[in-house]
Amino acid sequence: MSLNWEDTSTDKAERLTRALGYPYPIPDHSYVVYNGDVSPMLRDQAAHLREGRRPVLAVGSNQSPAQIIRKFNGPDWPNVPCERCTMHDFDTVFSTHIAHYGSIAAALHPSPGTKVNLFINWLHEHHMDRMHATELGNENYVFAELEDIKIETDFGLELSQIFFYLGNAGAFAPGGSPIPLAEVAAEGRNWEALDQLGVQEKLHQLLAFEDGLDEFIASSISDSDLRQQRANFMNSHTVSFGHPSLKVIKK
């Protein structure tokens, strides 16, 4: 099935699989995507592959080769090197944004002492309009820059500055604490992690939705007004992103 952002499948099972599959399979190694193919990113290639590219941190589904293929499929796109990295003092948590395909999306959030495994999408300028269209189109994110941070990549690069997409709504924090994504590996987490199924179950319980979980997710997909009402509820249980070096570049 198609899992891109324009997906219009009406098959309920496919839609539920898509919603609960987020952030989709994430490798444990660096890789390169070109024309629908995925190959390992090798140490002796790394410096060359990074040349002329902008480092954009992937914190949700942009870590997954499947999502990168959907966004940049075809021979006209330059390759997309995706280098695995460790980011210090941050974590990937659930945001208060419910995507139109039913998933509760991810967001970066400060987390002192945590080391989270993420990916850097090394993007050519030719990639940026497409990536912005997929991330900024519904005004749920802004394109931002962080400085005075520490990121170590698979192949020996250390970065103190990174670009990323910042969720406008903040972290979903029922009970006062953000919820990390269990699908994303990390050390020294400050809060209990849940997978996509677990966070959907939590929201289902908090809203006291009478029907089962499948119907709850299906209604988030089919009913945009209901989806917004649920996001508004989540926004009343949120923690804002806060970092002194944050700079918003594009809205």
| pLDDT of res. 8 | 54
Strand, coil or helix: 218: helix
What is the per-residue pLDDT for 168?
86
Note whether residue 1 is domain-resident. no
CATH number at residue 92: 3.10.490.10
Does any domain span residue 5? no
Question: Within a domain: residue 7?
Answer: no
Range of the domain at 184: 12-249
- HSE-CB for 226 with a 13 A CA cutoff: 13
Residue environment code for 195-229, b if the CB has 16+ CB neighbours within 10 A, otherwise e: ebeebbebbbeeeebeeebeebbbebbeeeeebee
Three-state SS string over 54-83 comes to: EEEEECCHHHCHHHHHHHCCCCCCCCEEEE
Give the distance from CA 165 to its chain's centroid.
Answer: 9
Domain membership flag for residue 4: no
Within-domain flag for 241: yes
H/E segment holding residue 197: helix 196-206
Query: Per the domain annotation, does 60 fall within a domain?
Result: yes
The pLDDT assigned to 23 comes to 97
E strand or H helix at 123, and its extent? Answer: strand 104-123
Give the angle 149-244-145 at the CA atoms, nearest 5°. Answer: 60
Residues 81, 50: Cα–Cα separation, whole Å: 7
- Its pTM stands at 0.93
For the chain, what is the domain count?
1
Q: What is the pLDDT along the chain (251 residues), one digit of tens a residue?
A: 233 444 556 688 999 999 999 999 999 999 999 999 999 999 999 999 999 999 999 999 999 999 999 999 999 999 999 999 999 999 999 999 999 999 999 999 999 999 999 999 999 999 999 999 999 977 789 999 999 999 999 999 999 999 999 988 899 999 999 999 999 999 999 999 999 999 999 999 999 999 999 999 999 999 999 999 999 999 999 999 989 999 999 98
Three-state DSSP class for 103? coil
pLDDT at 6: 46
Can you count the helices (H) and strands (E) in the chain? Answer: 7, 11
> Average pLDDT over the chain, rounded to whole?
94
Helix (H, G, I), strand (E, B) or coil at 154: coil
> Are 59 and 164 spatial neighbours (Cβ–Cβ below 8 Å)?
yes
Q: Which helix (H) or strand (E) holds 148?
A: strand 141-153
